[in-house]
Amino acid sequence: MTLDICVMTHAKDPDRPRQAVDGLYLCHGHREQLRRLVAEMPARADDLDRAAGVGGGRGDGTHGGIAIDDAAATHRQHMAGVLASWCRLVAEDRGITPPTGPELSRTAPWLLTHVDWCAAHRWVDEMLTELRQVTGQAMGIADIPARRVPLGEQCLTHTGGERCEGEVTIVVRGDDWTAVCTVCDEKQEATPYLRAVQAGRWINTEGVITLARMVGIAASNDVVRQWHHRRRIKGRDDGRQKLYELGSVQAYLALRQAERERMSA
């Protein structure tokens, strides 16, 4: 029996078979995706709590938050149930002790150590599909809108010595900026792809304007100078040009984006 073709469908070039990782039913990208989905399940559930106002200062339930609170709580339970049931399957099949409780904080780390074992079974496509679904639903309910900005930059990932041919899209979700490749499905650091990014994560004025445009904020040289002047973003002068600290720019843009969404809500 050879297990050398990934069993998942691939967005780009679906007819081209992808080499699976040795002994697994998944390619490198899908194995990483599975790992990430499991690892991030508790964080996605926390997003739901935030959306529902638990500890977020929106919890008195008198201003129309009830519907989303219900949906969030129900889905949180559903997520925990899904992960617990995959844990049960693994524990029974392997004859090992299951996690000590059904909470995501216990099941996710436990399941993470068995990801490759799962990926060596043909049913792993069901698992990956289900985890994608519950994660996508969680994001929808938490309503942290994602903006996708195709960059047209070639993916920097190398597999087996060859550079991936995919193009990268930047996904901006609140203050979380990631790069996603159309081919390898890899979620990556956004920084290397942002044009005009300098070593040490400093960007020039043009870089700030590009980032602002990506989240729908129109900025100009003057506006960027103003932001710096009003200490919204950190900057310095390297003698040739003004440079701005990427982290402070991302944080400020996320804030502006959140403000705007509150106003339009």
Helix (H, G, I), strand (E, B) or coil at 235: strand
Q: What are the Cα distances from residue 246, in Å, to 69, 112, 208, 234?
A: 34, 32, 8, 8
The helix-helix angle for 66-94 and 104-112 (nearest 10°) equals 40
3-state secondary structure 146-174: EEEEEEEEECCCEECCEECCCEEEEEEEC
The helix (run of H) or strand (run of E) holding residue 181 is strand 176-181
Kindly state the smallest distance separating residue 168's Cβ from Zn ion, in Å: 7
Nearer to Zn ion, 107 or 157 (CB): 157
Kindly state the smallest distance separating residue 18's Cβ from Zn ion, in Å: 5
Nearer to Zn ion, 28 or 106 (CB): 28
* Residue 21, φ and ψ in degrees, nearest 5: -65, 140
Query: Which residue, 171, 198, 200, 168, is CA-closest to 184?
Result: 168
Radius of gyration (C-alpha) of the chain in whole angstroms: 21
Kindly state the smallest distance separating residue 220's Cβ from Zn ion, in Å: 34
- 211 lies in the binding site for Zn ion (CB under 5 A): no
Kindly state the smallest distance separating residue 26's Cβ from Zn ion, in Å: 6
Among 80, 183, 211, 249, indicate the residue that binds Zn ion (CB under 5 A): 183
Nearer to Zn ion, 42 or 166 (CB): 166
Stretch that binds Zn ion, among 111-119, 131-139, 175-183, 251-259 (CB under 5 A): 175-183
Interface mask toward Zn ion for 135-164; x: CB under 5 A: --------------------x-x------x
- 45 lies in the binding site for Zn ion (CB under 5 A): no
- Binding residues for Zn ion (CB under 5 A): 6, 8, 18, 27, 30, 155, 157, 164, 166, 181, 183-184
